[in-house]
Each structure stands twice: as C-alpha cells, then as structure tokens.
Amino acid sequence: LERKVWGAMSEKRRLPDDPNQLKLDFGESDMTPEEEEAVRQAIKEVSEYRQVKVREHEKKVPVRQKLPEHLRREEEHIYPEGYLGNEDQWVLFDETETSEHLEYKPAELYVRVTIRHKGMRKDTNRIITAPVKNEPIPKSYASASLLTELMVGKYVDHLPFYRQIQMFKRIGISLPPSSIEAWFHEVADLMRPAYYRLKELVLSSDYVQSDETTIPIINNEKHQTIKGYLWLVRSVTGNQVFFFYHDGSRSMKVALELFKGYQGAIQTDGYTGYGILEKTKGIIIICCWAHARRYFE
C-alpha cells in the first residue's frame, strides 16, 4: 500500500489489484460536507509532501567556503613581469589582488637522538650519568608518536598494517612487518589498565545492553579460519562500550564470567545463552523491542 500511494507509478512497479479485494468506491458514495473537507485536506497534504520531497532531492549548487582562520598563512608575493631588477622604472601600487589555496605538507619522519651526558661532582668521586627516559617499549626505537600513529591508523582510520607500511615507504622508511606485529602486542599490554577501568565503569551502570558479533579466527590445528564470537557490552546512560573475548566462545559460561558480580538490568536479544543470567540474583533481563518486532512485521 505504501509503495502504491507514495512510490513511482510506473507500469512495472504498480501492484496488481487483487480481484478478491472488496472495492470501496469513495467517489460515488455519499459523503457529508465534513468528510469532503477532510478528503480535500488529505489531498492537499499529500501534494505538499511530494513537493517538499522534490525540493530535498534538488541538486544543491556547491558554494566555495572560506578557509579556516586558525590555519597558518604563508604569503607568496608575485610581481609584474620585469619589475624585479628594474624597480626604479616602476610605480608599485598598494592595491593588490589576493587569492588563497589550501596546501598540504606530507608527514615527516625524523630521528630523535638522545644523548645522555656523564659528570662528576668535584666534592665526590662518583660518576653520574643522566637517567634513561621512559619509553613505551624498552630497547625499541619506536617512539610514542610512531606507535600512536600506527594504532590510530589501524583502529580509527581502518588502515591495515601492510597499507601503513606502504605509506611509510613513500616517505622514505621501511618498517619490518614483524617489528610492527611485536609493537602491536606491546601496545595492547600497555592499554590493559585503561581497558579494565573502562570495563569497570560500564559494569557499574545499572542498565547495560549486550550482544555478540562474529569474528574470523585462525585455527592453527585445522590451518583454516573458523567463526568465533566477540561480546559487546554498552552502558546506556554513560554511552560507553567495551568488548570481551574468550577463545571465540559464545557459551553460557562466558556470559557468567562476563557479568560476574553485576547488579542491574541487561537488555539482550533472544539468544538462549543469556538465560542462565535470569537465575542470578540481582540481574534483570530486559527483552529487545527491535527483535520482538520482527515477529510481527
């Protein structure tokens, strides 16, 4: 019905009339003046709605926006041909014509050389060396800025490490994939305290939502990729999310481990793995309207 009323009325998209459907001929039926006015108002609203939709889909003419004021400006002065070297033969006006162009400077890699000096106080015989700076990964040449760029590229910009390696090659540095893989594990270990704190904040809420999503896992014994699961828990009021992984399992044991000690309401879909939580004291299972609605539409 929605397609027939609002859709394109072409022959191939028109829905055929059902011969068993009873006909309601409003055109020939007797209507009161109030009903006739309601019909006219309905026709007017439909016409206005269609006009609004047409205007929304009209192609907008692009307008050149002014470049942001916070960007640094570098001035480039261009003089009339023959001016330089013959300034005494020219009269230069104060009035100029100015144009702006947005420039891009590629990322720059450089080497930070840390030189630790040694010294000895005159009143002692002990030689003192400047302390070693704290680095994210000991005995590694990867700085915090480089590790941040790699991880943000992978998890925010969705750039796999092999693509980032190609990008670094274009600016003059070749990073071994094995080194980046090792750095990745080290950074993951450094992020563990933040992860546990995020998990603590989410589970301190009295209303969370939980779901599982599939993730491909490499099985070293079968030498193939198998389907595993990654659990997601979201704090509705705090709008915070953390993920939980346990050998790719989706079993009830994982649900018990994940929500151990939790007190509050958990909103889930109809997966039976959450059924064990209904018997846990202090936990209320809330059904999902979006999933229940599927059985009615």
Predicted confidence (pLDDT) per residue in 175-191, tens digit:
999 999 999 999 999 99
Q: Is residue 2 part of a domain?
A: no
User: If pLDDT is split at 50, 70 and 90, which confidence band does 255 have?
Assistant: very high
In a shared domain, residues 185 and 237: no
Query: Do 220 and 288 lie in a common domain?
Result: yes
Q: Quick one: 278 and 210 in the same domain?
A: yes
pLDDT band at 196 (very low <50, low <70, confident <90, very high): very high
Residue 193 sits at the vertex; the CA angle it makes with 190 and 194, to the nearest 5 degrees, is 95
We report the CATH number of the domain holding residue 244 as 3.30.420.10
Residue 186, domain extent: 136-190
pTM score, whole prediction: 0.66
Q: What are the tens digits of pLDDT across the range 134-179?
A: 999 998 999 999 999 999 999 999 999 999 999 999 988 999 999 9
pLDDT for 89 equals 86
Q: Are 184 and 137 in contact (CB under 8 A)?
A: no
252 within some domain:
yes
**Residues 46-72: pLDDT tens digits?**
888 877 766 666 666 677 788 899 999
Per-residue model confidence (pLDDT) at position 244: 95
- Is residue 229 assigned to a domain? yes
pLDDT surpasses 60 at 11: no
* Integer Cα distance of 237 and 133 in angstroms: 41
> CB-based burial of residue 183 (10 Å sphere; 0-12 exposed, 13-18 middle, 19+ buried)?
buried
Statement to judge: residues 186 and 212 lie in one domain: no
Q: Are residues 247 and 279 in the same domain?
A: yes
- Which residue in 165, 158, 159, 197 sits closest to 179, CA to CA? 165
Query: Which of 148, 151, 150, 118 lies closest to 132, judged by CA?
Result: 118
> Does residue 264 share a domain with residue 225?
yes
Q: How many domains does the chain have?
A: 2
Query: Same structural domain for residues 162 and 228?
Result: no
pLDDT recorded at residue 296: 80
What pLDDT, on a 0 to 100 scale, did the predictor assign at position 168?
94
Q: Is residue 259 part of a domain?
A: yes
pLDDT for res 173 = 92
Q: Specify if 148 maps to a domain.
A: yes
Strands 224-235 and 283-286: unpaired
CA–CA distance, 229 with 254 (Å, rounded to integer): 11
Of 190, 224, 253, which closes a domain? 190
Question: Mean pLDDT, to the nearest integer, of 243-264?
Answer: 92
Tell whether 151 and 177 lie within a shared domain: yes
- Is residue 156 domain-shared with residue 182, that is, in the same domain? yes
Inside any domain, residue 65: no
The pLDDT of residue 23: 63
Which of the four pLDDT bands, split at 50, 70 and 90, describes residue 198?
very high
Cβ within 8 Å of residue 270, ≥6 positions away: 287, 288, 291
- In a domain, residue 110? The reply is no
Rounded (10°) CA dihedral 217, 219, 224, 226 = -40
Rounded to an integer, the average pLDDT of 191-206 is 95
Same domain, 225 and 282: yes
Mean of the pLDDT values across residues 120-135? 89
**276 shares a domain with 253:** yes
**pLDDT confidence of residue 85:** 75
What is the pLDDT, as a whole number, of residue 14?
A: 53
Q: Which of 124, 159, 190 is the last residue of a domain?
A: 190
The confidence band for 25, taking pLDDT boundaries of 50, 70 and 90, is low
Kindly state whether residues 278 and 211 are assigned to the same domain: yes
Q: Does residue 282 sit within a domain?
A: yes
Residue 27, pLDDT score: 55
Domain boundary among 190, 213, 230: 190
